[in-house]
Amino acid sequence: MKDNKFLTLGIETSCDETAISVVADGREVLSNIISSQIDIFKNYGGVVPEIASRHHLENINGVLETSLKEAGVTLDDIDLVGVTMGPGLIGALLMGVSTAKAIAFASGKPIVGVHHLIGHVSANFIQHAELEPPFMALITSGGHTEIVQVDDYDKLTVLGGTRDDAVGECYDKVARVLGLPYPGGIPIDKLAKEGEHTYHLPKPLAGEDTYDMSFSGLKTNVINLVHNLEQKGEEIRIADMCRSFQDVAVGIVLDRASKAIKEYGIKQVVLAGGVSANSYLRAEMQKVCDKLGANIIIPPMWCCTDNAAMIAKVAEHLYDMKVFAGLDLGVDPNWSIEDWNKFEN
Ligand code: KG4
Ligand code: ZN
């Protein structure tokens, strides 16, 4: 049922989740269907791009049908189609964008391309009607680790980020070497609660006056430590390893985030991305913000990881700003967050 509401269909296929959502008036999530390929990639220890694209292709029509059905609407009721056009895996993105264009073409509805990371940040607007810039967004996911100052909806500055791997990617690779399932963040987070910080892992770039972060050395240190212990025939205390790793990985993010809050006089912080589901990061960032007098918005679990409601939210915002794409909409796998609104006229 439409009830004179403005309905946006969000489509997200940037990585290994085929997600389609119907959002009414930018606030009410009528459906949020996510078909995850996690079980497939558990066997590989990570996402295989070619396989991901194939599964999007197989799943997307079914996900669309279920999403519309659950929302109690038909394609005729939809007012706007929003789709993730980057950053992400090129083949995976193409599946979502092609579907969105087919829907827009067949139904004559407007279409708009959405930046995936702005989607993660904007998930918070669905839950927090009062949230508005300025704020600092701490984006931590499987593909990105960035501290972004959001002065206005179209004025974003990257204050710092990783020089190499993303923090989520590091979690996934460390989990793999420890024999834990993909995606690694979830089991490491759980086991870390049962362990002690007994393994020494140096913190990369510690003491440097920078907003840069680095995770690849940390990953290598864990791999080397594990191999060393194996060679010596010593027991690997998995929970202790998880705790030691997590303290350092999240510690890197906390150090840079607190530096930014202090030095830029940030008054409001927003967490975004899959790693913001991490219990230690959530608790420690709350403490950091309390100590530094900043308000913090922590997204509910359902909107930390990839979903399409967050994409619909951004699409509606772009629509309000009269930003549309044409049916020549392409994908941009390396789209920078600073020019997320590149279609703005
Ligand atoms: O945002 P997301 O769903 O996909 C990307 O855009 O990358 O993030 C997925 C990442 C994975 O690396 C996963 O291990 C991590 O988020 N993750 C976590 C937790 N839950 C998911 N990392 C740490 N702790 C968690 N509880
Ligand atoms: Zn994501």
pLDDT digits (tens, 9 = 90+) for 177-218: 999 999 999 999 999 999 999 999 999 998 899 999 999 999
User: Two tokens at 137?
Assistant: 């967004």
Q: Cα of 305 to ligand 2 centre, how many Å?
A: 6
Q: What is the mean pLDDT of residues 340-345?
A: 62
**What is the rounded average pLDDT of the residues 255-278?**
97
The rounded Å distance from CA 52 to ligand 2 centre is 15
Q: What is the pTM of this model?
A: 0.94
For the cut 50, the answer to whether the pLDDT of residue 345 exceeds it is no
Q: Is 268 in the pocket of ligand 1 (CB under 6 A)?
A: no
Quick one: 79 exposed, middle or buried, by C-beta within 10 A (0-12, 13-18, 19+)?
middle
Q: Look at ligand 1, atom 1, and give the residue with the nearest C-alpha.
A: 274
Per-residue pLDDT tens digits for 95-151: 999 999 999 999 999 999 999 999 999 999 998 989 999 999 999 999 999 999 999
Answer yes or no: is pLDDT of 318 > 90.
yes
142 close to ligand 1 (CB < 6 Angstrom):
yes
C-beta of residue 60 within 8 angstroms of C-beta of residue 84? no
Which ligand does the CA of 310 lie closest to? Answer: 2
What is the overall mean pLDDT for the chain? 94
CA distances for 73 relative to 13, 35, 69, 202, 342, angstroms: 22, 20, 6, 54, 31
Residue whose CA is at the smallest distance from ligand 1 atom 26: 278
Question: Percent of the chain having pLDDT more than 90?
Answer: 86
Atom of ligand 1 nearest to the CA of 143: 7
Q: DSSP secondary-structure letter at 325? A: B
Contact between residue 261 and residue 268 where contact means Cβ atoms under 8 Å apart: no
pLDDT tens-digit map of 151-180: 998 889 999 999 999 999 999 999 999 999
Distance 337 CA to ligand 1 centre (A): 19
Residue 343's pLDDT is 60
Q: What is the pLDDT averaged over residues 260-264?
A: 97
Looking at the CA of residue 182, tell me the nearest atom of ligand 1: 14
Q: Which ligand is nearest to the CA of 142?
A: 1
pLDDT, tens digit, 9 for 90 and up, residues 47-89: 889 898 999 999 999 999 999 999 999 999 999 999 999 999 9
Q: How many residues does the chain have?
A: 345
How far is 40 from 111, CA to CA, in rounded Å? 31
* Segment 310-322 mean pLDDT: 94
Whole-angstrom Cα distance, residue 167 to residue 145? 6
Task: With cut-offs at 50, 70 and 90, classify the pLDDT of residue 344.
Answer: low
DSSP category for residue 345: -
**DSSP assigned state of 131:** -
Q: Is the pLDDT of residue 341 over 80?
A: no
- Cβ(171) – ligand 1 distance below 6 Å: yes
Q: Which of 83, 127, 130 is nearest to 102 (CA)?
A: 83
Gyration radius of the chain over CA positions? 20
